Structure 1
Amino acid sequence: MAAQVSFSVASPGGPREMTVAYERAGAGEPLLLLHGIGHHWQAWSPVIDILAAEHDVIAVDLPGFGESAALPDGVPYDLATVTAALGALCEALEVERPHVAGNSLGGLLALELGRDKLVRSVTALSPGGFWTQAERRYAFGTLLAMRQGARLLPRPTIERLSRSAAGRTALTSTIYARPWRRSPEAVVEETLALRAATGFDETLAAGRDVLFQDDVPDIPVTVAWGTKDRLLLRRQGIRAKHTIPGARLVRLPGCGHVPMNDDPALVARVILDTCR
């Protein structure tokens, strides 16, 4: 079980308490890790040990995902609210201006934290928010199909499929370029996490009009994109570079949308280089 911390967030009805689950390892300058929609902190498992050799690593279950509770009633899942909640999380953990790395939704949140000057560096892996409307509709439709598939498959079927490379490919090839590298146990747990994510629908709805259009000056920013990303196409990285001219744009050869599993050494090096 991950550790948990509770803290207050603002809402239209006044301060409300929320609880977030997280995994923490290592020592050094703090490094916050943020997963994508429907996932959980274990998305970072392939790189945590490498990162923890140099950093105090905090991998978070975002509100409404993994073991973190849903946001309190009346608290929206919009970027401003979730970004503020992550700032409050850092205060509760007595972490001041961490480095942050995020994937997909987590990458978008990482850039928001950077824009608000709440972090000292940003590594965004295939971040959301740089899509055209057609690309967004495609990505959201794909995510909804993945969610529906996870809900329809009985757990014994998921467990049976996960035991073979072909089954793991069928379950996760949308987000991994090398799905056979994921362990059977990890595939089962992340499929169940997608099915159970209480924040999925509201998070997706909140993202319908999201575009990231601001620069993130004065801190190191890396935007990295897998060459085999099937969810957010890699040309979106070019748009990110135009939006954030000072960012380093990195190509991740052979990696899919969640590259930490496809090439852990490369992804860890990209993050550590940005932190340095």
Structure 2
Amino acid sequence: MSATASFSIDTPHGPRPATVAYRRAGTGEPLLLLHGIGHHRQAWDPVFDILAAEHDVIAVDLPGFGESPALPDGAAYDLPTVVAALGALCEELGIETPHVAGNSLGGLLALELGREKRVRSVTALSPGGFWTEAERRYAFAVLLGMRQGAKSLPLPVIERLSRSVAGRWALTSTIYAHPGRRSPEAVVEETLALRNATGFLQTLAAGREALFRDDVPGLPVTVAWGAHDRLLLRRQGIRAKHTIPGARLVRLPGCGHVPMNDDPALVARVILDTSR
């Protein structure tokens, strides 16, 4: 079940209302979960209940993704705008300095929230922003190809492909090391989420300038990378460690770019170890 929260953000036309969809459950210190570009909050379903045993967990559909509508007209999908929107969301929900875990784009946003001292710990799973220009172009080309594939396939074809391991591999092997472990229903839903994401192109365009260059001192930070990440190659984790010397760098064996489904127990343990 999802809920929504509305809040005001600054735009070139003045303050405008924005709305975000989220799922919330559990008790304990708050933990914010942020997905990657083209995905939705259900990416966290494999670990959500594990984390909710120790935390008040809020899995968010980022603006323009999942069930969250696009940002107001004129609002940019750049890091400052989205980070400010997440800060406003936390204020609206009564969450003060939550822990945060993010994957891909969500990992980059999590690190930005940490840099601005808006959170109490950061777990970044294959975060963006540590690429070379050639690596960024490669990743963005792959993402655009995935988006085009999702838009071109009729729904009955997506549903038919999702019913077989080979079909799930064809649809999701770029982001999962073990696509066969993803349920057919989840594969259909996330393919449609990629197709329908109103913020996809604007976010991708803003990402051309996205690099994370600053340390995140004074906070527990973990950067974790799937050993079989085919989208953001794991050598980018070494760059992240050089940028954030105090961070714990963790290798996720057997995991792809979106590791929560490949090894839920391992990913949950990494997040809980950081938040503890």
Sort the TM-score into its range (normalised by shorter chain): over 0.9
1:194 CA drift (Å): 0.1
Aligned residues between the structures: 276
> Is residue 231 from structure 1 mapped to residue 218 from structure 2 by the alignment?
no
SS at structure 2 position matched to 1:51: helix
Equivalent residues in 2 for 1:250-265, closer than 5 Å: 250-265=250-265
Q: Which runs of 5+ in 2 are unaligned?
A: none
Task: Name the structure 1 match of 2:267.
Answer: 267
Task: Name the structure 1 match of 2:241.
Answer: 241
1:77 CA drift (Å): 0.4
Partner AA of 1:95 in structure 2: I
SS at structure 2 position matched to 1:106: helix
SS at structure 2 position matched to 1:21: strand
Task: Name the structure 2 match of 1:12.
Answer: 12
TM-score by length of 1: 1.00
Return the alpha-carbon distance in structure 1 between the equivalents of residues 49 and 11 of structure 2: 37
Task: Name the structure 1 match of 2:62.
Answer: 62
Task: Name the structure 1 match of 2:218.
Answer: 218
Task: Name the structure 2 match of 1:204.
Answer: 204
Task: Name the structure 2 match of 1:152.
Answer: 152
- Please list the CA deviations of residues 124-182 of structure 1 after superposition, one character each: whole Å capped at 9, or x if unmatched: 00000000000000000000000000000000000000000110000000000000000
Moved over 3 A (4+): none
> Is residue 115 from structure 1 mapped to residue 115 from structure 2 by the alignment?
yes
Q: Please, what is the CA RMSD of the aligned residues? A: 0.4
Partner AA of 2:136 in structure 1: R
TM-score by length of 2: 1.00
- Please list the CA deviations of residues 233-256 of structure 1 after superposition, one character each: whole Å capped at 9, or x if unmatched: 000000000000000000000100
Return the alpha-carbon distance in structure 2 between the equivalents of residues 2 and 75 of structure 1: 24
Return the alpha-carbon distance in structure 2 between the equivalents of residues 151 and 11 of structure 1: 30
1:55 CA drift (Å): 0.1
Return the alpha-carbon distance in structure 2 between the equivalents of residues 209 and 19 of structure 1: 26
- Please list the CA deviations of residues 96-133 of structure 1 after superposition, one character each: whole Å capped at 9, or x if unmatched: 00000000000000000000000000000000000000
Task: Name the structure 2 match of 1:39.
Answer: 39
SS at structure 2 position matched to 1:15: strand
1:2 CA drift (Å): 1.2
Partner AA of 1:208 in structure 2: R
SS at structure 2 position matched to 1:191: helix
Task: Name the structure 1 match of 2:141.
Answer: 141
Return the alpha-carbon distance in structure 2 between the equivalents of residues 174 and 132 of structure 1: 19
Identity of aligned residues (%): 83
Task: Name the structure 2 match of 1:95.
Answer: 95
SS at structure 2 position matched to 1:112: helix
1:191 CA drift (Å): 0.1
